[in-house]
Structure 1
Amino acid sequence: MKTVLIPTDFSKNALHALQYAQELFKCERACFFVLHAYGEEVYGKYKTAMLEDVEKLKEDKREQTVKKLDKLVNSVIGEPPNPLHNFETVARFDNLVDSINDFVDEMNIDVVIMGTKGETSNHKTTFGSFTIEIFKYVKCPVLAIPEDFEYRQPKAILFPTDYLLPYKRRELKLLGDLAGKFKSKVYCLYITDFDELSPRQEDNKLFLEETLANSYLHFETTPVKNKAEVILEQIEQKDAGMLVMLNSRHSFFEDMLYRSTVDLLGLKIKIPFMVMQNIKR
């Protein structure tokens, strides 16, 4: 059974991500945990409040959050409900990233699925600040869904990689499960001016082939130029339904994030974007 965490700020984008998750796992057993972290809603406005006032605010906010979560889940269960799906609500008095990381560890979550932006995000950017923080710091694959993306099976998945970093078998298993289920073509794209791989790159490429054995793997290279532009061009050429990248120290993705290039980075992607984490769990 897949364990899926859906953070929500009760925005339209977060609702859309929950609906996408239901479609993505429509034909398999899944438990959806719908989480709202309300710590900043208490302390953000009441930093100077007395301790007694804060405790009262915490309790009031918890009750409001539980009610809103229940209402949200009831609105998406469907008639008749999918018998393969279970829903649980989670209200946490904490900041968003810490609450997600703690819950990922507690429940052994397979994937976090969320909107690309929240209610207060700048509409001129692809990713909101909270989404970028979750990309960076959450120790679990994160799949971000653009608000205007209409669900379709990801028959083509673009996976830019330089084969330099070791992959985690569990992370790749999620990608392999999705690709196998939808009979997707996975395009491993290496942006380079060199013709040959090093022994380490060859080993990592072989590990990809073994772990994604149920996928239709394609290995391609393209000359170095603006990497964001290359990715956007390949998404269009392959008619990709999902972009997958690896986040680790010294990775291309980390380089983009810390230079403010995921949006900021110029990647104006309009398809689901999954970030796999090369971090121990």
Structure 2
Amino acid sequence: MKTVLIPTDFSKNALHALQYAQELFKCERACFFVMHTYGEEVYGEYKTAPKEDIEKLKEEKRKLSEKKLDELVNSVLGEPPNPLHNFETVVSFDSLVDGVNDFVDEMNIDLVIMGTKGETSNHKTTFGSYTIEVFKYVKCPVLAIPEGFEYRQPKAILFPTDYLLPYKRRELKLLGDLAGKFKSKIHCLYITDFEELSPRQEDNKLFLEGTLTKPYLYFETAPVKNKAEVILEQIDKKEVGMLVMINSRHSFFEDMLYRSTVDLLGLKIKIPFMVMQNLKR
């Protein structure tokens, strides 16, 4: 059974991510943990309030969050509810990243699914600041669903990689299972001006081949230029339904996050974006 965590701030985009998760795992057993973190709601507005006022506000926020979570889950159960799915609600007095990270460790979560932005995000970009933080710091695969994206099976998946990182078997198995059940093509894209791979790259490529056995796997290269432009061109050319990247220290993805590349991707990507982790869990 898959264990899936869906953080929510009760925005329309967060609701959309929950509905997407239900469709993605429609035909398999899954437990959905729907979480709301409210630490920042308390301390954001009342930093200088007396301690007793803070404690009172915490209790009010907790009760309100529990009520809203119950209402949210009841609104998406369906008639009749999917017998393969189980829902649990989680309220955490913490920041989003810390709350998600702690729960991921505690419950050994397989996948985090969330909206790309919440109520307070800049509507000019696809990825809000909270989504970027979860991408970077949560030690679990994260699948971000753009606002307004209509669910469809990802028949083509783009996986940009430089083959320099040792991949995590559990992370690749998740990708392989998702792609395998939809009979998807995974296009492993290496953006380079060099034809030959180093022995280390060859080993990592062989590991990909040996692990991703369920989907159709393709290895392709593209010449070096602006990486975001290459990715966007490939998404359009191959009618890609999901973008997948690896996050690790000194990785291609981290390099993008700390530069303007992610800004361009954030403006243009309108498909689900899964970030797998190579960080210690």
Distance in 2, Cα, partners of 1:35 & 1:238:
35
Are 1:190 and 1:221, in contact at CA under 8 Å, matched by a contact in 2? yes
**CA-to-partner distance for each residue in 1:59-81, whole Å, 9 max, x for gaps?**
01000000000000000000000
Could you say which residue in structure 1 is the equivalent of 2:249? 249
Q: Residues 200-235 of structure 1, C-alpha deviation per residue, up to 9 Å, x if partnerless?
A: 000000000000011100000011111100000000
Give the distance between the partners of 1:266 and 1:58, measured in 2 at CA: 34
Q: 1:266 to 1:26 in 2, by over 3 A?
A: closer
Q: Does structure 1 conserve the Cα–Cα contact (< 8 Å) formed by 2:125 and 2:266?
A: no
1:175-195 deviation digits (Å, cap 9, x = unpaired): 000011100000000000000
Looking at structure 2, the residues matched to 263 and 10 of structure 1 have their Cα atoms a distance apart, in angstroms, of 25
Which deviates more from structure 2 when the two are superposed, residues 204-213 or residues 261-270? 261-270
**In 1, Cα distance between equivalents of 2:263 and 2:31:** 31
Percent identity between the two aligned chains: 87
Q: Secondary structure at the match of 1:244?
A: strand
User: How far apart are the structure 2 equivalents of 1:210 and 1:62?
Assistant: 47
User: Residues 1-281 of structure 1: matches in 2 within 5 Å?
Assistant: 1-263=1-263, 268-281=268-281
Counterpart CA distance in 1 for 2:78 and 2:211 is 35
Gaps of 5+ in 2: none
Distance in 2 (alpha carbons) for counterparts of 1:29 and 1:179 = 17
* Contact 2:192 2:221 (8 Å CA) reproduced: yes
Match for 1:131: what amino acid?
A: T
**1:263 CA drift (Å):** 2.1
Are the counterparts in 1 of residues 126 and 268 from structure 2 also a CA contact under 8 Å?
A: yes
User: Contact (CA 8 Å) 1:5, 1:113: kept in 2 or not?
Assistant: yes
Root mean square deviation of aligned Cα: 0.9
Query: In the TM superposition, what is the alpha-carbon distance from 1:26 to its structure 2 partner?
Result: 0.2
The letter of the residue matching 2:30 is: A
Where structure 1 has 5 or more consecutive residues not aligned to the other structure, the ranges are: none
Secondary structure, counterpart of 1:102 in structure 2: helix
For residues 56 and 206 of structure 1, the distance between their equivalents in structure 2, rounded to whole angstroms, comes to 57
State the shift of 1:259 in Å.
1.6
The TM-score normalised by the length of structure 2 is: 0.99
**In the aligned structure 2, how far is the partner of 1:191 from the partner of 1:77?**
43
What is the alpha-carbon distance in structure 2 between the residues aligned to residue 266 and residue 13 of structure 1?
15
Distance 1:244 1:187 in 2: 10
Cα distance in 2, alignment partners of residues 252 and 265 from structure 1:
14
